[in-house]
Amino acid sequence: MTIETSVSNGIARLVLSRPEKRNAFDGGMIATITDILKEWSQLNDIRALVISAAGETFCAGADLGWMKRTANLDYQANRDDARKLAGMMEGIDHFPAPVITLVQGAAFGGALGIVCASDIVFASSDARFCLSEVRLGIIPAVISPYVIRVMGERAARRFMLTSELIDSQKALAMGFIHQLVDQPEDLPEQAEQVLTLLKNNSPAAVRACKQLIADVSGRPINSQLMEMTSEAIANIRQSSEGQEGLSAFLEKRSPAWQEKE
């Protein structure tokens, strides 16, 4: 089994479970993850998705055997294959609920795309990152929109071109991760703390806020943006959870979504 999945109490969990291959992904693994994300995206009761990995390595990137097979493909087949990886990255980036990713050990190549497409990332102090593609004569094309969005063009000009190793402290400073923990075994506890915070918030508002961030990021501040954001707040104020949240605040009680936990 290359992927382990579960959904319990509103939390979906996806575990990369191929430790003998350092959790490197191939075409089958990409297709499985993409299908799972599509299925879970339709479930409104999912409050968050946690992505983690078995073993000492988060993900070594692409499986060497898979890469060897792609080298023998023609242009169209290579393009189709790359689109599948792009679909998986898009599925993580556009997942309607918050995506929390836990990183231990190496996150190389395409694995850095998973990290940068996630909403919240925690890593252990032994974590290390690398955009290693140019060493292999290729480029980090499919993951580049997510990676450059996080690290910025200036940093990309260095680290994509040199393929140098990025340690956990530097990854924290560059924004790849939000927080470090001492040991890999501390990662689940850190995730649970954030999940508790998320569960205190309105599920509909959290989803709408994630979409708002995507809609606003990178856009110029103009009348069109102001109209869009005004419509967004009007819609959420009129929603059932918006009304419940305001009523609970005024009545000094817990909102219904907290009472149900």
Report whether pLDDT(259) > 70.
Answer: no
Q: Do domains 3-198 and 202-259 have the same CATH topology?
A: no
Please state the pTM of the whole predicted model. Answer: 0.95
Report whether pLDDT(260) > 80.
Answer: no
Any idea which of 9-23, 54-68, 121-135 has the lowest mean pLDDT? 54-68
Q: At 76, which amino acid appears?
A: Q
For the beta carbon of residue 112, count every other beta carbon within 10 angstroms. 29
Alpha carbon dihedral 1, 30, 98, 205, in 10-degree steps, equals -120
| Average pLDDT over every residue of 93-118 | 97
Q: At 168, which amino acid appears?
A: S
What pLDDT band is residue 62 in, cutting at 50, 70 and 90? confident
Alpha carbon dihedral 169, 173, 176, 180, in 10-degree steps, equals 40
**% of the chain at pLDDT higher than 70:** 98
Give the start-to-end residue ranges of the domains of the chain. 3-198, 202-259
Q: Quick check: 167 and 26 in contact, CB under 8 A? A: no
Greater confidence (63 vs 192) lies with 192
Residues ≥6 apart with Cβ < 8 Å to 243:
237
> What CATH homologous superfamily does 3-198 map to?
2-enoyl-CoA Hydratase; Chain A, domain 1 (3.90.226.10)
Angle separating helix axes 223-238 and 240-250, nearest 10 degrees: 70
User: Whose structure tokens read 């004569």?
Assistant: 137
Report whether pLDDT(165) > 80.
Answer: yes
Q: Quick check: 4 and 17 in contact, CB under 8 A? A: yes
Which CATH architecture fits 202-259? Orthogonal Bundle (1.10)
Q: Quick check: 241 and 257 in contact, CB under 8 A? A: yes
CA distance 200 to 230: 25
The pLDDT value given to residue 1: 65
- How many CA atoms are closer than 13 Å to the CA of 146, on its beta-carbon side? 27
Mean pLDDT for all residues in the chain: 94
- Would you give the end-to-end CA distance of the chain in angstroms? 32
Q: Quick check: 82 and 46 in contact, CB under 8 A? A: no
Q: Quick check: 128 and 167 in contact, CB under 8 A? A: yes
Q: Could you tell me where the beta strands, DSSP code E, fall in the chain?
A: 3-8, 11-16, 48-53, 99-103, 106-108, 120-124, 128-130, 166-167, 179-181
